[in-house]
Structure formats: C-alpha cells, structure tokens
Amino acid sequence: MIENIGSSGPARPERASAVPEERDRAGKAVQQVSRVQPRDRVEISERGRVLAARQELVAWLQAETGKSADAIAELLARLDEGAYNSPTIAREVARRLLQSGDL
C-alpha cells in the first residue's frame, strides 16, 4: 500500500515553474518563482525487503546449483521449519565445508 507522506525537503528553485514577470520599484524586471511541488517518495516495508532478499537468494541458488525453483522452495521451507537446526546436522555441514576447502 502506498501512503501519502508529504514533502521532506526544501524548495528547489531550479525545479520551480516561472510566473508572469513583475517590475520592482526601480522598474527592473523581477521574475517570481512558484513553490516547488513536493517529490514523491516510496518506502519499502520490512516484509518487502525480506521478500526481495528471498527472491535474490532463490535466483542465486538456481544459478549456482541448477536446481529447479520447486527444489529450492522445498529447501527454504525446511530451513524455515528448523529441520536443519540440530547439532548433528551442524557437525555434518561443518565437516563437508572443511573437506570442500570453501573455508
């Protein structure tokens, strides 16, 4: 959902639109500028950031492993459920990382 959050910055003369010319007391032309319209601003929610990071992770895993999106979704679901949160699995992961030379 997009919410109106108003202007957060000062007026910028370079973005202002001109109004009809007037004269000062000495008769010199004086150009007045109108108020600058506020800029639009978008804020991404924390949930949106998490979803975007998850999509990047899925894309990276697909590129690195060649696995299907379904296989990666299943892996991520198991991670979210805590299926791999055990000392036995942590030791096995550590052993394989050390053997592979990735550390």
Query: For the segment 3-38, what is each residue's pLDDT rounded down to a tens digit?
Result: 555 555 555 555 555 555 567 677 777 666 677 778
Residue 71 lies in a domain: yes
Q: CA 40 to CA 28: how far, in whole Å?
A: 37
Residue 70 lies in a domain: yes
Tokens of 95: 């052993």
Residue 77 lies in a domain: yes
Residue 59 lies in a domain: yes
Q: 43-93 pLDDT, tens per residue?
A: 999 999 999 999 999 999 999 999 998 999 999 999 999 998 999 999 998
Q: CA 67 to CA 76: how far, in whole Å?
A: 13
Longest dimension (CA), the chain: 88
Which of 49, 79, 75 lies closest to 62, judged by CA?
A: 75
Q: CA 16 to CA 35: how far, in whole Å?
A: 6
Residue 11 lies in a domain: no
pLDDT value for 20: 53
Q: CA 4 to CA 47: how far, in whole Å?
A: 19
Average pLDDT for the chain: 81
HSE-CB at 103 with a 13 A cutoff on CA atoms is 7
Residue 35 lies in a domain: no
Residue 57 lies in a domain: yes
Query: Which range of residues forms the domain containing residue 84?
Result: 46-100
How many domains in the chain?
1
Residue 78 lies in a domain: yes
